[in-house]
Amino acid sequence: MKRIFEADPWKVIGNVFDNDTNEIAESIMSLANGHMGFRGNFEEDFSGSTLKGTYIAGVYYPDKTKVGWWKNGYPEYFAKVLNACDMISIHLWIDGEKVDLSKCHFENFTRELDMKQGTFTRKFDVITMTGKRVRVGSLRFVSMEKKEIGAIRYTVQPLGDSVDVRLISYLNGDVRNRDSNFDDMFWEKISVASHDGISNITMATKKTGFIVSSSACEQVAVKGVDLKGTLVSDDGLYIGNEYSSRVEPGSLFIMFKYFSITTSRDYETSEVTGKSLERASEARETRFDALLEEHRKSWASIWSYADVVIEGDMLSQQGIRFNIFHLFQTYTGHDNRLNIGPKGFTGEKYGGSTYWDTEAFCFPFFLSTAREDVARSLLIYRYNHLENARKNAKKLGLEGALYPMVTMNGEECHNEWEITFEEIHRNGAIAYAVYNYVNYTGDEEYLQEYGLHVLYEIARFWASRVNYNPRKGKYMILGVTGPNEYENNVSNNWYTNTMAAFCLRYASEAADGIRKRNPGRFAEIAGEINISDDEIKRFVTISENMYFPYIDELDVFAQQDGFMDKELLTVDDLPLSDRPINQNWSWDRILRSCFIKQADVIQAFYFFPFEYDTDVKKRNFDFYEPMTVHESSLSSCIYSVLASDIGYYDKAYELYLRASRLDIDNYNNDTEDGLHITSTAGSWLAIVHGFGGLRVKDGLLRFNPALPEEWTGYSFIIYFRGRRIKINVREDMVGATLLEGEAITIRIWNNEVDLYNDNKVIEIKGKS
């Protein structure tokens, strides 16, 4: 595989410019802070292949769904995260020549994402038509300390001869989403103005009415002498300041650009513009170096508790840090109205909405790396959408709550029927996250305050969705799409039935548990959502009599009824020219094939590691993995975890590397659309839950570590019930250290280990 970025433990470095891969680099080098984000675009003009992208958390547009034949229950719209005001751009002229890397002559190009510092830097030498050489450089960051601001340092330096430099720093609100229908404009102008040298554009989203105010100001100097800007604007959505100067050899033209974004999500409508101007002014007064130092300290704090160190394998090390970096850029947990979009702040595909990916893949990462309130915020997000989930179920003629496959505000907004109507297993992931949280944290209070409401309504949905088959005396679930989206409208998808049975059982257990521990609170909840003993008994009856398809001759679970009717091939039977099949085959051909997009049966083994013995897991892995094309970002990581669980460490490493470098190495030929945030979380799962063997059972934190042959060692830190614990794995030895919190007993392999808050490393040698 030809890699376009250099391997480095803390950086992603691109020293070669290629127009064909530029949008990949823009995705890779995106910067964000949970409130706003920017693709890794050039500041100066670029007429080559680019996707200009500025995205703001929680700001979206309900683009009307367009289908040939309307179906009852179909979502009214497909939500889109909006491409917002372009904040970072400039026009640059050197001796009257406009700088555009698609047109001008340049050398020594490099761009660099520094994950340790949280910065994006670029540098290149422009060669003018008269042969003058001028070095251009920039450093950009989006503050992790002050969520509404960011800054750029932009420099122009003659390397031999004097040059005339002219620069316009501007805001541009005339932007479009690449995926909009008919190149629609989603914004309406409110105001464009300049206040005390600060340019401002305030706009409102059509339909949803979000107010977004963008401000920017500059400090520009040559030889330490400040330059005064001249206002430039037009009658539309463009405003900025122009600066020009003769720059001598040895001198530096330097611009500091400070920008801010505020929205009506956080302020009263009348305050939004004023707050944006305030933030930009405060940033200018604080100055670039001080802001950058605050930002670096924030990242240093994050890395102090979330870093994963891999020794002996640079590609693995770079991959996991890249993924951790983008996860913390995407979600901070400070606002429970927000969730995690599958592209984060790196692109527009999938509309930027919330999927089941959050609960199934991202939730465990934040549960173990951040404090409990961060993961709790993700659950509160779903609780706050419970009423809309009830409405979603009612639209389909069902009871209880059906959480949407894709959402911004709790309403379903996916525009494919086989997903909207059939991929109902997503309900199971929501319930599983509640279970996972309570099992991991011991926070039973959450169940009483929020959790039981969600669990019970999900159970009601499953109870109304099943079909009782009197000939078999079993409950079945017909007409679904499982996690493997390369098959639609199947009956009795094993994973879906398994998750439904779990939800029904767990809801009844949670209700009984609260009834025993806190009868008064249970009576309140029962009154609020009409819980009855007869209904709970029905939940149990359905759970205990669910139908699970099985392939007797192979002694494995059937992915769904009729799976064995297919022509059973393996991925090795596919010509390389056919891969990926989702870009080379018709959908009809894919649906009729045996090929699996992502973990399906295997997904349940990850969720319920203690429910199935090693032999069962091995038989199913050996049958299904050879047919899995891993063309979903959700796939490799789960197969990697299970491969570690059953001792297939070479396979686990192969799949980990694919998950961790899915975007950096563009495995699926789609990184230009934005990063796969689920895979970024999944690569962490492959290490900590896979090679590290992290599990929690009966309140006891357990590890079953293994060391891939390609690594000489690795370490990670997890947060668990008020403690931070570092696990350091070497060949035949594991070290455990309690970094924070009260003493705790954990299990490493089959050894129970007592850890005390004395920073003493407890070493366990070899499995016993």
* SS3 assignment for 489-505: CECCCHHHHHHHHHHHH
Angle at which helix 314-330 crosses helix 288-306, to 10 degrees, equals: 110
Q: CA-CA distance, 658 to 662, in Å (whole number)? A: 5
Tokens of 655: 């799949």
**Closest Cα to residue 125, out of 15, 20, 289?**
15
Amino acid present at 18: D
The CB-based long-range contact list for 294-298 (8 Å cut-off, 24+ gap) reads 294/143, 294/145, 294/146, 295/117, 295/118, 295/141, 295/143, 295/144, 295/145, 296/117, 296/118, 297/145, 298/118, 298/143, 298/144, 298/145
Q: Are 16 and 126 in contact (CB under 8 A)?
A: no
CB neighbours of 63 closer than 8 A, spacing ≥ 6?
A: 77, 78, 79, 80, 180, 181, 184
Q: CA-CA distance, 498 to 555, in Å (whole number)? A: 17
For the chain, helix, strand, coil in percent to 5 are: 35, 25, 40
79: part of which helix (H) or strand (E)?
Answer: strand 77-81
Q: Are 513 and 625 in contact (CB under 8 A)?
A: no
CA-derived radius of gyration, the chain: 27
The burial of 571, by beta-carbon neighbours within 10 Å (0-12 exposed, 13-18 middle, 19 or more buried), is given as middle
Q: Are 695 and 338 in contact (CB under 8 A)?
A: no
Catalytic positions are 485
Q: Which residue has the tokens 């949803």?
A: 208
Tokens of 188: 């309406």
Cα dihedral value 360, 364, 370, 375, nearest 10: 50
**Closest Cα to residue 156, out of 148, 168, 165, 147?**
165
Q: Are 257 and 152 in contact (CB under 8 A)?
A: yes
Cα angle 440, 442, 444 (rounded to 5 degrees) comes to 130
Beta bridge partners of 204: 188, 211
Q: Are 16 and 3 in contact (CB under 8 A)?
A: no
CB neighbours of 519 closer than 8 A, spacing ≥ 6?
A: none
Amino acid present at 712: T
- What is the per-residue DSSP string for 153-220? EEEEEESSS-EEEEEEEEEE-----TT-GGG---EEEEEEEEETTEEEEEEEETTT--EEEEEEEEEE
